[in-house]
Amino acid sequence: MRLYQSLKLTTILALSAGISFAQDAPKTTSGNPIAQGWYADPEAKIFGKEYWVYPTFSDKYEKQVLMDAFSSKDLVHWTKHDRIIDTSAVKWAKKAMWAPAVTEKGGKYYLFFGANDIQNDNQVGGIGVAVSKKPGGPFKDYLGKPLIGKIINGAQPIDQFVFKDDDGQYYIVYGGWGHCNIAKLNKNFTDVVPFADGETFKSITPKDYVEGPVMFKRNGKYYLMWSEGGWTGPNYRVAYAIGDSPVGPFNRIDVILKQDMTVATGAGHHSVINIPKTDEWYIVYHRRPLGERDGNHRVTCIDKMYFDAEGHILPVKITNEGVAARVIK
């Protein structure tokens, strides 16, 4: 009798405190953020029928010596892949491993990354390349040195994005300090090669560009997206332009991603996903939780991205719910 009374009292107290003994309801949306922990600058890719997100490990520069990744089959349930690369695999990288960009070619996966936050041409660092047989790593240094280790056209060699055009040509688009460059990668990703006019690094910097370029193609048009403002501030945001070729010209059109003071602050530095053979698009980005003031406390989120009839990107509504399940068929 005493045991029954004790259990009854425990149940009453638990219910009054808002505690439920019922099994948790199935997860129907991704929720934002999509993963626990401080992660920024996400690169989003589709490999086969899986979604992958590769973010920067958001911490002090000296602690940014590794990268994790996340995979999902439905955008809702995510699996963490710990330490897919770290500085033990890249001897010249010492800190500030930033903004991975991952692409598949010839059955191998190539991870482009920034490292060391170089401030001049006398320092070792810049954009490196690592390679793996699997999208979840482990990745090993591919070149033994930076692919781009100099400051060209005023662009700090960081925030690289790899774009594959319909003709099979791969381009690297990158740059911090308010300057954006594009270059053609050679077939083995060991170097860059000149354009037809002999120029190797072309400046394609649009108005108000700061960092974090992304390029994709839709309906024959080239979209260049980038982050503006300061990465620790409330004015961090994403804008875009549309051009007729990978080298533009790119004239700024509008801001499409920014903070919402009812949801989160500092929304920016993103990538996009297009579901194969559809016109469904998602934007994966980082933002800062409300009330959070530590610059490195950023989380990775996902929301839908839409276009109007003229091909312009509509302003993105950032949410706490995230997105519904979407399995790739």
Contacts 24+ apart (CB under 8 A), 105-110: 105/170, 105/189, 107/133, 108/132, 108/133, 109/47, 109/133, 109/134, 109/135, 109/139, 110/142, 110/162, 110/189
CB-CB contact of 56 with 70 (8 Å):
no
* 141 assigned to active site: no
For residue 29, give Cα distances in angstroms to 33, 83, 298: 11, 26, 20
Q: How many CB atoms lie within 10 A of CB 257?
A: 25
Give the chain's length.
329
* Residue 9: its H or E element: helix 2-16
Catalytic hit among 41, 43, 68, 159 = 41
The answer to whether 228 is a known catalytic residue is no
d(CA 207, CA 212) in angstroms, rounded, equals 14
Q: Catalytic: which of 86, 117, 159, 211?
A: 211
Active site residues: 41, 211
